């Protein structure tokens, strides 16, 4: 059991979207599985961890409350958990702290960073009408994609304008985020998908959209769009995944949840629970800087798998999501990592 101390006055309905994700399940939903692992306490002396209740950037706008929590953790020699929300994330250097975030670049992140998976609902509950099942191995890899991918000058201009807005907002302190170079994600995505679609070694099933969710506005259209998206993942053993505005791919976790094999374009991504999870065993990690063509990298991964291993990998990926990457499961893993002697925790 880990005892957590926080400022519960921030755990309000208006803060639900920016609360530290673990607190969402302890305070709002009161999930039994996590209540068996964590306990909220008002006693700072007996607590194991001090938790900043909401996104760090949002809490900076409440300096008295933030400083009170920081000083409390320092005075009582307690580790501090920080949540950095949003696409970009923010690196802080507060002593004895651990930052939980989605975005960031592996080569630049300090070792006290815990990368969060995208917390999604189970696709088999919400979108897929069929139960989980595995696909047989085919001679050529079948790779799918449904989503926003578009090239052209107009799209480049639109993405550049969006990036400039981010730069200005960051410079003048409207957002607390790490610096990030311009990366036109939809244009890059279209470029790589075009290369893969021309390979004679792959069977591709790509549906490219000019807008996110194809511009769906109504709930019915969003549901239909999501079903098309997840059916494509279900029907193809592999799915191409690449970063968006932030340096992470939500699709990567959606593929694992369906029990299929992600093909992730490596853009200096850090994935959750490394090195506990050997990610190269669960999907294709594409190196765009390699002299080896992307299609060849996929084909070599595919050819290393026997028919039985190919099926087992799909089962393993589904189990990985259920047991370590789904929101409750992820924070149970975090509990196991911190519920150990102090000298072991400090080595993270």
3-state secondary structure of 186: helix
Total of domains in the chain: 2
Same domain, yes or no: 82 and 169: no
User: Are 144 and 223 within one domain?
Assistant: yes
Same domain for 145 and 87? Answer: no
Residues 75 and 209 in one domain: no
Q: Are residues 172 and 110 in the same domain?
A: no
The domain spanning residue 276 has which CATH number? 3.40.50
Cα(130)–Cα(149) distance, rounded to whole angstroms? Answer: 28
Q: Where are the alpha helices (DSSP H) in 99-218?
A: 123-126, 153-171, 185-197
Does one domain contain both 89 and 163?
Answer: no
CB-based contact 64:78 (threshold 8 Å): no
> pLDDT by residue for the chain (348 residues), tens digit each?
999 999 999 999 999 999 999 999 999 999 999 999 999 999 999 999 999 999 999 999 999 999 999 999 999 999 999 999 999 999 999 999 999 999 899 999 999 999 999 999 999 999 999 999 999 999 999 999 999 999 999 999 999 999 999 999 999 999 999 999 999 999 999 999 999 999 999 999 999 998 776 567 789 999 999 999 999 999 999 999 999 999 999 999 999 999 999 999 999 999 999 989 999 999 999 999 999 999 999 999 999 999 999 999 999 999 999 999 999 999 999 999 998 754 454 444
pTM recorded for the entire structure: 0.94
- What gap in Å lies between CA 78 and CA 201, rounded to an integer? 55
Statement to judge: residues 223 and 320 lie in one domain: yes
Are residues 112 and 142 located together in one domain of the fold?
A: no
- Are residues 158 and 277 both part of a single domain? yes
Residues 172 and 253 both lie in one domain: yes
Dist. CA 206–CA 144, nearest whole Å:
5
Is there a single domain that holds both residue 197 and residue 308? yes
User: Residues 43, 48, 54, 60: what is their CA dihedral angle, to the nearest 10 degrees?
Assistant: 90
* 265 to 60, 103, 136, 268: CA distances (angstroms): 34, 15, 24, 9
The first and second tokens of residue 119, run together, are: 């917390």
Instruction: For residue 35, give the H/E element and its range.
Output: helix 32-35
Q: Are 142 and 205 in contact (CB under 8 A)?
A: yes
Sheet architecture: strand order including 261-265: 203-209, 142-148, 238-241, 261-265, 284-286
Q: Do 24 and 158 reside in the same domain of the chain? A: no
User: From CA 116, how far away is CA 104, in angstroms rounded?
Assistant: 11
Q: How does DSSP classify residue 13?
A: G
The residue range of the domain holding 58 is 2-117+327-345
């Amino acid at each position: 059991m880990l005892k957590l101390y926080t400022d519960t006055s921030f755990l309000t309905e208006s803060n639900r979207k920016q609360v530290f994700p673990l607190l969402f399940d302890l305070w709002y939903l009161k999930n039994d599985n996590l209540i068996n692992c964590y306990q909220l306490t008002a006693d700072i002396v007996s607590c194991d961890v001090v938790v900043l209740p909401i996104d760090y950037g949002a809490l900076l706008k409440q300096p008295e409350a933030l400083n009170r929590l920081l000083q409390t953790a320092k005075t009582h020699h307690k580790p501090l958990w920080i949540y950095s929300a949003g696409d970009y994330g923010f690196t802080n250097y507060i002593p004895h702290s651990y930052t939980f975030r989605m975005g960031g670049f592996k080569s630049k992140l300090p070792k006290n960073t815990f990368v969060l998976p995208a917390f999604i609902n189970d696709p088999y509950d919400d979108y897929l009408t069929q139960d989980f099942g595995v696909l047989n191995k085919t001679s050529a890899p079948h790779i799918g994609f449904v989503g926003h991918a578009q090239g052209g000058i107009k799209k480049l201009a639109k993405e550049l304008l969006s990036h400039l807005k981010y730069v200005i907002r960051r410079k003048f302190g409207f957002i607390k985020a790490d610096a990030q170079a311009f990366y036109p994600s939809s244009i890059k995505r279209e470029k790589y998908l075009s290369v893969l679609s021309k390979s004679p070694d792959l069977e591709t099933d790509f549906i490219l959209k000019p807008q996110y969710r194809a511009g769906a506005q109504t709930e019915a259209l969003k549901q239909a769009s999501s079903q098309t998206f997840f059916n494509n993942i279900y029907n193809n053993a592999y799915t191409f995944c690449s970063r968006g505005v932030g340096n992470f791919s939500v699709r990567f976790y959606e593929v694992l949840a369906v029990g299929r094999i992600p093909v992730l374009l490596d853009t200096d991504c850090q994935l959750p629970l490394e090195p506990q999870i050997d990610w190269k065993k669960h999907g294709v990690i594409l190196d765009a800087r390699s002299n080896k063509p992307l299609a060849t990298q996929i084909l070599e991964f595919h050819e290393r798998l026997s028919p039985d291993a190919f099926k087992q990998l799909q089962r393993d990926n589904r189990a990985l999501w259920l047991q370590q990457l789904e929101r409750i499961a992820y924070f149970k893993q975090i509990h196991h990592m911190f519920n150990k002697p102090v000298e072991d925790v400090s080595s993270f």
